[in-house]
Amino acid sequence: GDSVTQMEGPVTLSEEAFLTINCTYTATGYPSLFWYVQYPGEGLQLLLKATKADDKGSNKGFEATYRKETTSFHLEKGSVQVSDSAVYFCALSEGSARQLTFGSGTQLTVLP
């Protein structure tokens, strides 16, 4: 079945550091890929998505590129802020499936 693997957390960075959170997936076809963010005490918010190979999703300075050859969708940001501290989830949805398959989440803490 489909699966998503994220890098283990927690990740702690200083403000203005470069961020990468790795995400790889296993799917039988051509999934759509998503990054969600969960701020403390809140539900999940869609951060960005990509629906086909080589698509780049971007939002709020975050980017991720759909790499079919490496089955990856790594999240990057050039300069993180304290306000980016949250849990980040990678997820996929495939074909006519209505549900998402989530990774386990990566806790990010940004220190001033």
Partner 1 sequence: DVKVTQSSRYLVKRTGEKVFLECVQDMDHENMFWYRQDPGLGLRLIYFSYDVKMKEKGDIPEGYSVSREKKERFSLILESASTNQTSMYLCASRSAGGVSNQPQHFGDGTRLSIL
Q: Applying CB under 8 A, which residues contact partner 1?
A: 31-32, 34, 36, 41-46, 49, 51, 89, 93-100, 102-105
**CA–CA separation, 54 and 56 (whole Å):** 6
CB atoms within 10 A of CB 5: 15
Least distance CB 15 / partner 1 (angstroms): 26
Give the shortest CB-31-to-partner 1 separation in angstroms: 6
Nearer to partner 1, 80 or 91 (CB): 91
The C-alpha atoms of residue 2 and residue 93 are separated, in whole angstroms, by 9
CB of 88 to partner 1, least distance (A): 12
Residue 7 or 17: which CB sits closer to partner 1?
A: 7
Look up residue 91 and give its amino acid. Answer: A
Query: What tokens appear for 84 in the block?
Result: 């980016």
Closest CB to partner 1 among 18 and 39?
39
Closer Cβ to partner 1, 41 or 112, answer by number: 41
CB 102 within 8 Å of CB 23: no
Least distance CB 50 / partner 1 (angstroms): 9
Left if phi > 0, otherwise alpha if psi is -120 to 50, otherwise beta: which for 41?
A: left
